[in-house]
Structure 1
Amino acid sequence: MTAPSRARVAMRWLMSAFYGGAGLLHLVRPDGFLPIVPAWVPEPRMVVIATGVAEILGALGLLVPPLRKAAGLGLALYALCVLPANIKHAAEGIVLAGLPSSWWYHAPRLALQPVLIWGTLYAGGVIDWPWRQEGKVKLG
């Protein structure tokens, strides 16, 4: 197995574990996420539960070859869509049990959001960067 292949497999398992765990938290403790849901989101509790289900399904999808690309793309879009909640959490200094409330936590978390998006796209085989062979572009 080549280094890029090993990296993709490792990223796949890492992203699957991350999103599976986060999804379970959304289902087990949905009320804990409510303070960071933007006011314009309808039915916040139901949205938190639905996002938990989406995270779990995406995590499982990363592990199923025919679903892998769709799961990677879906989780990347999900990470983009929850950015307003992460911004609200940071900008309003909302305290959530078990999480730090300082910018030493929020700044890296926000800065790493693009890395999380890349990670799901890479794990799902949607993109090859940074291991794409020169001169070759993989479109499918």
Structure 2
Amino acid sequence: MSTMTFLDLQLTLRIALAVLFIGAGIAHFLPSVQRTMSAMIPPRIRRAGLASPINLVIFTGVCEILGGLGLLFPPTAFAAGLALVVFLAAVFPANAYAAGHRKRFGRIAIPLVPRLVAQLVLMALIVLAVV
């Protein structure tokens, strides 16, 4: 009976994270998800006028899909992992905004502290998968 090596663990983790990010990214193209996610964009980001909320949701979906695919290709896995960690930090304000408006967003408005812990754990798993 063989034991799993660290490299095996990394590969398994990269595949699992890729499935997670690709699936989440694809969901960004569903109209109901787009409506909900665009509503989660904090007002100060909306006022900055960088892009329409729907376009930001589509952009983040593309980022997740590309990041997930990048995890699967060894030459790009490290860069993709780094990009996904930055991505998770960049989208956290939308999650924090939703957490502060539970009546508006319902069950997707995960309370702030558990959401922050989950984001940090996910970031750590990405780093573990690519270093």
Specify the TM-score bucket, using the shorter chain as the normaliser.
0.7 to 0.9
Tell me the equivalent position of 2:43. 39
Is 1:12 the equivalent of 2:21? no
Tell me the equivalent position of 1:110. 116
Structural RMSD (CA): 1.9
- How many aligned positions are there? 121
Q: What is the one-letter code of the residue matched to 1:26?
A: H
Aligned residue for 2:42, secondary structure, equals coil
Tell me the equivalent position of 1:25. 27
Using a 3 Å threshold, how does the CA distance of structure 1 residues 122 and 39 change in structure 2: closer, same or farther? same
Asked whether the equivalents of residues 16 and 62 of structure 1 are also in contact (C-alpha less than 8 Å), the reply is yes
Q: Deviations over 1:61-86 (max 9, x none)?
A: 00011111110000000001111011
Deviation at 1:100, TM superposition (A): 5.0
| More helix per residue | 2
Asked whether the equivalents of residues 25 and 52 of structure 1 are also in contact (C-alpha less than 8 Å), the reply is yes
Is 1:122 the equivalent of 2:128? yes
Structure 1: 5+ residue runs without aligned partners? 126-140
Using a 3 Å threshold, how does the CA distance of structure 1 residues 66 and 55 change in structure 2: closer, same or farther? same
Cα separation, 1, equivalents of 2:110 and 2:124: 25
* 1:75-86 equivalent positions in 2, closer than 5 A: 75-86=84-95
Cα separation, 2, equivalents of 1:102 and 1:77: 20
Tell me the equivalent position of 2:5. 3
Using a 3 Å threshold, how does the CA distance of structure 1 residues 117 and 95 change in structure 2: closer, same or farther? same
Structure 2: 5+ residue runs without aligned partners? none
Tell me the equivalent position of 1:52. 61
